[in-house]
Structure 1
Amino acid sequence: MANSTNSDVDVDVLVIGAGVVGIYALYRAVNAGFSAMTLEAGDDVGGVWYWNRYPAARFDSESYTYGYLFSKELFGEWQWEEEFATQPEIERYLNHVVDRFELRDRIRTGQRVVSANWDEDGNRWIVTTEKGETVRSQWVISATGGLSVPHYPEIEGLEDFQGEGHHTGAWPHTPLDFAGKRVAIIGNGPSGGQILPAIVDIVESVDLYQRTPTWTTPLNNAPISDEKHQQLNENFDEIVRVLSTSPSGFLHTPAGKFSTDDTPEQRQEFYEQIWKSPGFAKLTSNYYDMTTNREVNLEFCEFLAGKVRSIVTDPVTAERLIPKDHLFGAKRPPFVAGYYEAFNRPQASLIALRETPIVRIDTTGIETTEGHREYDIIVYATGFDFGTGALTRMGVVGRDGLDLSSDWEEGPSDFAGFAAHRLPNFFFPGGPHGAGGGNYPRYSQDQVDWIADALIYARENDFDRFEPTAEQEEAWMTMVETLAPLSIFSANHSHYYGANVAGKPRKFLLNPGGRGKLHEMLGELTAEHDFGGALSSVHEEVAVA
């Protein structure tokens, strides 16, 4: 790592986080000839797929569309076992990539970053970990992601419970033994929906505590045959083209029609096809106007409600599982297998928190307004402090005193979802306002590629600082604020607005302009030699320490 051109830094590029995005950022930096290293909080690589190892954790994007696309050889040599891979295979894949491209020696695990301070005189970042390690770097790429800070429910007595209590996003490496245990699952999003059917047949009892029902639909997983793998390899170039340009980052075939193109009877037949489609295709292959036409969305919701009633044998439970306050897609819909069927098992019960609130957790279990239940294991499937959580907890202090822990208290302000004014040479791909919904790695790859290309351009043109101007940031945030009300996501229910975290301001945390707007605004920057003033040269003024 000694090839840095600045004697006052340890590395040219410091990557924070060794998840899907961080691994790719490190690969791009090394491949471009920069000295680079990664600091990772976990004891191994994988990011969200290192921490989320609860039973049945898996992709809900097709495996081969979620994985890396930068190497045809890598794509061909790794044969995914299933359309939607489980966590153990995902972790093996990410470790394979790290070793395949000789990145492991550049990754320091067990190093959680606690401060990142901009040194204006040295034109560098000084980054410190909780173990006392300090790294000086010209450029920082913080690939900490939006799903890296588990959010625990605001319930009195969480620390009092004497049994096993774990968040799905911070799951122990030693597998929990659920056999014959009394289990509570708090939360019914994707992780709660995955874990319930995975354990229902081995526990003594399992109670799922539901605050708001979600439109859960079947994942419709399947194994990937040798023939399918060969077909994917043969179509690699076309797959890359589609995934690199698709607004959603999926390979799903669009419906090719509006709801008004079909009769009511034809729409019911179409909904049946959608119900049987894989994962996110229920959104991306649905009618073009499904997310904009309230009437057709309500019709589809009634179709889904009919499915729930036909599967769940207890009519009271079925009604409690049907959302009454939001349309399909207004919250991120879980795609899982066997969720509704699990409630037909005698071991499983649904506790609707709107009717029966939790009073507190104590040493032996959970007290609700209806009484006390004892448990051996409590699972907190309550999601994450999405979008800003990691960045505001990392001690990031930029130019002129910008402190993300306080300056973002009322919501983040950024440019293109990965940079901010007064944060020179600091990038956060996969951060707030980055993705537009859909297959996250495809959006994040766009961001990492642009960052890497910008650093190469800066090196070749004698620039040593990148910082969006106040005007560029304002233009991006104006776009976000203008288009956010047009999004289908609900400000009152979706974690994309921070609605799952008590006290968090309701600010839209995605890019409502999608991939098209991201490419458009980045293209405007790259059209100018100095990226519209975002690139500058200050090294002549920097004293060598």
Structure 2
Amino acid sequence: MSATSQTATTTDYDALIIGAGISGLYQLYRLRQLGLRVRVVEAGTGVGGTWYWNRYPGARFDSESYSYGYSFSQELLQEWNWSEHFAAQPETLRYLNHVADRFDLRRDIQFRSRVTAAHWDDAARSWEIALEDGSRLRGRFLITAIGPLSAPTLPRIPGVEDFRGQSCHTARWPHEGVDFAGKRVAVIGTGSTGVQTIQEVAKTAAQLTVFQRTPNWCVPLHNAPITDAEQPAIKANYPEMFRRCQETFACFLHTPDPRKTFEVSPEEREAFWEQRYNNRGFGLWQGNFSDIQTNRAANEELSAFVAKKIRQRVKDPKVAEMLIPKDHGFGTRRVPLETKYYEVYNQPNVELVDIKATPIERITETGLRTSEREFEFDIIVYATGFDAITGSFDRIDIRGVAGRRLKEAWAHGPQTFMGVMVEGFPNMLMLMGPHTALGNIPRSIEYNVDWVTGLIGHMQAKGLSVADARPEAVAAWTEHVKAVGAGLLSNEISSWFTGVNSNVEGKQTRIIARYSGSAPAYRAWCDEVAAKGYREVALG
């Protein structure tokens, strides 16, 4: 694609947004308030992003529903009733469709439009994007709303294309669904999506075989319906709840206890962990003692507590040991929340296979073969995760000043300014890009969008057309991200938190892929940049 080419299909916009998920919808809403002409391009046939693509059985929130929805509209908050404390995917997708309709967002969204390339045209001071169908669009600003977990990966196992039964990745689930009743089913992967899928498949499959490479520490979700009596109290509490989300470390309703693990007696510690284990949501992970993620001995104590729970819940001691992680401590990887997940392995129709001990050698026409035996299946489910954080950027040919490729700029790990900008890629603004505060993602999204909108509004007011992060600002931010990640046990572990994916060529080395400090600290840095007139950004 020529950076300066124009075709009959080219249309000019003030801003182009890639993705119509939670980020893209809200960014469209905010840019309209500035009076901008905006076009959203979306690969799918509908809005929803994560909740459009991930329709696998069991998919649901693990942040409390009411803390996950948008906070920008009081009318929206009051009119929408969540049915469960942790809503399932179909309800979440209905919610996002309701938002799109309520604010008349669809008229600016172009569906079935996958972006293959985005090139900066320095002479025109704009971006040109190419779509899969060959058409092109131009816009002054390019805003990426592509999500940190949106590029699914299949395992690098020979024969994936050979299987003659039904197979699907959890993130590309058939819209018509999959019927597991009476079928022989394989699920490959036991991360968050695998855990949720396994719980559901086990209910109806004639035989479920779970292929596990790395066990994960999972804790109970404790979901429940929201009763009619609870609805008014939830709605009345929204201002206080969102205020709390602004104050907590990762924007969850849970935040670390200020005490350290060994400052309390063993009895107090056990009681505290019991209480957290038996309460809803991420309390045991996000609401634990303040040194759990930095003190190895403290983390080992907590890991032993959760291991004891697994042994209590799984009847076969050998299977229980297979389900207990030995290579990482509790919370150093993303913690899946579950509903009777461990009890699934007590069922006679469920088998667990350790593929570190007996690796999968090949997918066959009728199933798969490990180093130990052959399996026959009707259905194979790949719960093998994502090329996280940078993967969704890598799949687009993004080129900045002088044709420099973003993938090359990030060859040794992302270099960003506040996770929003990249030096040499003017007017490209990232929502939930590398080095932003993740946590309860919609809370972080709203902040990211508001900051981006503030920058564009500032440029409007000053008659400016180009914004590029200064190299010294990028260097300072990237060093800060590394500094706040120092000493965290999670940064010693290979996971999507550290940009590792064994199924992706060149992504076997750990990097600092996310901002590990607190969300309030992240916002304070960004707020100061705005308050001082964006001095770290070259404006012109």
Instruction: Report the alpha carbon displacement of residue 115 of structure 1 after superposing the two structures with TM.
Output: 1.1
State which drifts further: 69-78 or 502-511: 502-511
One-letter amino acid of the structure 2 residue matched with residue 213 of structure 1 = P
Q: Which moved more, 1:451-460 or 1:9-18?
A: 9-18
Provide the secondary structure at the position in 2 that maps to 1:489: helix
Distance in 2, Cα, partners of 1:175 & 1:393: 27
Give the deviation of 1:292 after TM superposition. 2.2
Aligned counterparts of 1:227 and 1:260: Cα–Cα separation in 2: 41
SS of the equivalent of 2:116 reads strand
Contact 1:458 1:535 in 2 (8 A): no
Question: In structure 1, what is the equivalent of residue 456 of structure 2?
Answer: 455
Which deviations, in whole Å up to 9, do the C-alpha atoms of 1:124-159 show, x marking residues without a partner? 111111112211111111100111110111111111
In structure 2, the partner of 1:309 is: 311
Q: Distance in 2 between matches of 1:237 and 1:277?
A: 23
Inter-partner Cα distance in structure 2 for 1:295 and 1:182 = 43
Residue 203 in 1 paired to residue 205 in 2? yes
Q: What's the offset of the Cα at 1:490? A: 4.3
Could you tell which deviates more after superposition, 222-231 or 183-192? 222-231
Q: Quote the offset at 1:514 in angstroms.
A: 3.1
Alignment pair present for 1:534 and 2:534: no
Change (3 A) 1:133 1:283: same
* CA-CA distance at 1:397 after TM superposition: 0.7
Determine if the alignment matches structure 1 residue 189 to structure 2 residue 188.
no
SS at match of 2:486: helix
The 4+ residue runs of structure 1 with deviation greater than 4 A are: none
Task: Give percent identity, aligned residues only.
Answer: 41
Query: For residues 187 and 50 of structure 2, what CA distance do their matches in structure 1 show?
Result: 20
Q: Counterpart of 1:117 in 2: which secondary structure?
A: strand
Separation in 2, partners of 1:85, 1:533: 40
* Deviation of 1:257 (Å): 3.1
Superposition CA RMSD, Å: 1.5
Deviation at 1:302, TM superposition (A): 1.0
**Which residue among 521, 525, 530 is the counterpart of 1:521?**
525
Alignment match of 1:103 (pick from 79, 102, 105): 105
Give the TM-score of the pair, scaled to structure 1.
0.94
Letter of the aligned partner of 1:513 in structure 2? Answer: G
Kindly indicate whether residue 474 of structure 2 is the aligned counterpart of residue 473 of structure 1. Answer: yes
Aligned-pair CA distance for 1:216: 0.8
Mark the runs of 5 or more structure 1 residues left unpaired by the alignment: 1-7, 538-545
For 1:273, the equivalent position in structure 2 comes to 275
Moved more, 180-189 or 407-416: 407-416
SS in 1 for 2:229: helix
Shift of 1:253: 6.2
5 Å-filtered alignment, 1:175-324, equals 175-252=177-254, 255-324=257-326
TM-score, structure 2 normalization: 0.95
Count of aligned pairs: 528
Matched with 1:144 is: 146
Task: Specify the alignment match of 1:336 in structure 2.
Answer: 338
How far apart are residue 408 of structure 1 and its match?
2.1
**Aligned partners of 1:16 and 1:39 also within 8 Å:** yes
The structural deviation recorded for 1:19 is 0.6
Shift of 1:416: 0.7
Partner of 1:4: none
Counterpart in the other structure of 1:395: 397
Contact 2:113 2:132 in 1 (8 A): yes
The CA distance in 1 between the partners of 2:536 and 2:254, in whole Å, is 39
Per the alignment, residue 485 of structure 1 pairs with 486
Kept in 1, the 8 Å contact 2:17–2:145? The answer is yes
CA distance in 2, matches of 1:408, 1:261: 42
What whole-Å deviation, never above 9, does each CA across 1:486-542 have from its counterpart, x for those lacking one? 22314443111122334313212110233234223323422333x1151422xxxxx
Report if aligned partners of 1:492, 1:499 keep a CA contact under 8 Å in 2. Answer: no
Relative distance call for 1:147 and 1:533 in structure 2 (3 A) is closer
Counterparts in 2 of 1:184 and 1:345: CA distance versus 1, 3 Å: same
Q: Distance between the aligned counterparts of 1:321 and 1:160, measured in 2?
A: 30
Task: State the Cα distance separating 1:179 from its structure 2 match.
Answer: 0.6
Q: Which one of 513, 516, 522 corresponds to residue 512 of structure 1?
A: 516
CA distance in 2, matches of 1:13, 1:298: 49
Aligned-partner Cα distance in 1 for 2:128–2:255: 47
